[in-house]
Amino acid sequence: MKRTLYIPLLIAVALFASCKSGKYDATEKVYKKKATEYADLYKEAPVESQLAKINSNDKEWIASINFGIRKPNYVMIHHTAQDSLAQTVKTFHSAKAGVSSHYVIGRDGKIVQMVNDLFRGHHAGAGKWGNDTDLNSSSIGIELDNNGTTDPWSDAQINALIALLTTLKDTYKIPQANFIGHMDYAPTRKNDPSRFPWKKLAQSGFGYWYDEYLETPPANFDVKLALRIIGYDVKNLDAAIKGFKHHYIQNNANSANLNDQELKILYSIFKKYL
Element (H, E) at 264: helix 260-272
Give strand ranges (E) for the chain.
74-79, 103-105, 111-113, 139-144, 179-181
CA dist 236 and 82 (Å) reads 28
Query: Which backbone phi and psi does 103 adopt, to 5 degrees?
Result: -140, 150
Q: Is the dihedral of CA 3, 4, 9, 14 positive or negative?
A: positive
Active site residue 143: yes
Rounded to a whole number of angstroms, the distance between the first and last alpha carbons of the chain is 76
The full DSSP string for 128-170 is -BTTBS-HHHHEEEEEE---SSS----HHHHHHHHHHHHHHHH
Instruction: Say whether 249 sits in a helix, a strand or coil.
Output: coil
Identified catalytic residue from 37, 44, 60, 143: 143
Alpha carbon distance 217, 60 (integer Å): 58
Active site residues: 143
